[in-house]
Structure 1
Amino acid sequence: MKFGLFIVLTVALLSLTGCFNMKMQPIKVEPVHMTLDINVKLEQQEIEDAAAEISPVIGKTAPDFTLPDQNQRPVTLRQFRGKWVVLYFYPKDGTTGCTLEAKDFTALLPRFHEMNAEVLGVSEDSSQSHCDFIAQHELKLLLLSDPDHTVMEQYGAWVVSSFGSLSYGRIIRTTMIIDPAGVIRHYMPEVMPQGHADRVLGKLAALQTFQ
C-alpha cells in the first residue's frame, strides 16, 4: 500500500533527527505534502503515532520560552508548571485549516481545563493579527506571536526547504503535549487540522491514565 510506504519514509526521516543537549535541537524533516484524500484522513492517527514512537524529543524537557500573546502580554512556558500544556504550531491566522483547528480547540477548551491542561497556539502572525483572529471567530485560546521563528526552530516546527536554487522556510503544523513537570510526552508532526483537537484530547487522556 503506497500510504504504508509514506509512513515508513516519514519514520525513517524522523529517526535521523537530532536529540537534546542543553537545549532541544530543531527536528529536521522534509516537507510532507498532505491532501484531503479520505485515506489520508483515516490514517492520520497512524502517521502521528508512528512518528511519536520514534521521536527523539519524547521524554525531554521542553525548551522554555517567552512570547507575546494576542494582548502583547509576555507568556512564558514555565508559568504553566503544574499543568499539562498543549503547544501547537500553525501556519497562519484566518486560513481555512488554521481556523478549523482553532475553533475546535476552543470548543474543547473546557474539557482540556477539566484535565488540568492549557492550550497555546503559536504562529508567526503579529499580536494584532491574533487579536483580530480571536475576535472574528470568538476564540478562547492564548495565541502567541513568533515572527522570527525562534521558538518554532527550537521545537522543530520550522524547516527550510528548497526548490531548485530557491530556498524558503515554512511552518510545520506540529503539536507537543507537555506534562506538569515540563517534559514532552507526545509529539504530533504534520497534523491534519480536521479532528486534530479531538485527537489531542484523546491522547492527553491516555497519557494521564498511564502516568
Structure 2
Amino acid sequence: MNLAKKDRAARYAARRALIINAACELFHTQGIRGTLVSDIARRCHISVGQVYRCFHNKDEIVCKIIHSFFQLQINRLVTEDMNLKTEAQALAGTQTANTVFWQQGNTLLLEIYTEATRNEKIATILYEASRRLMQKRLARLRKYNPGMSECRLKALAEVMSVLQEGAFLRFQHRNIDKTEGEILSEIYSDIFRCIFTSETKKS
C-alpha cells in the first residue's frame, strides 16, 4: 500500500471512530430512536453524506458499537488470567478503569437491548456477539478447570454471565460508597468460593 492509500485509510478509520464516539454520546443522552444521522453528523462537524460514506445507515453504526463493546470483554477473557479476586472486584465496580467503563456503557447497553426488541437485524447481531462472548467465557473456565465436567462448566459460564450482566445493568442505580463496594466485592468472592471447585485457579 502506497503512502497516499495509507493516508486515505487512516483518515477513513479516524472518521469512523469519530462517528462511533459521537453516536455513543448521543445514544446515551437521546436514545437510539431519538438520534438521527443528521444529529451524529452535527456532533462530528461533518456532513450527513460523509457519515453515509462510512456507514450505510444508523443500524450499521449500532452494530459496530455492539461488536466493539463485546470485543472489549472478549479481549479481557483472552488476555487475562482467571483471578477470582479480580473478577469479584470487577462485579463490585471497585476497579477504577472498570468503573469508568461501566458508567459510560451501562445506559448505552440498555438502549441497545431495548432497540433489539424492535429491530431484528440488531437483535441478530446482539445474539451473535453474546454467543461469541459465552464461548470465550466457557473456554476460559475450561482452561482453568481441566477436570471439571462439560455440563458443570457450561452451568458456571451461565452463572458468570448472569452475575456480570446483572451487575453491569444494576450499576447505574447503585449508590454505595467505597466501604460498601469493598464489602460487595467480598460477597462476590464468597459466592465464587461456593460455586467453584478446588480445581479452579483461585486468587
Do the two structures share a fold, i.e. TM-score over 0.5? Answer: no
* Greater helix share, structure number: 2
* Greater strand share, structure number: 1
How does the TM-score come out when normalised to structure 1? 0.29
How does the TM-score come out when normalised to structure 2? 0.30
**Which is greater in Rg?**
2
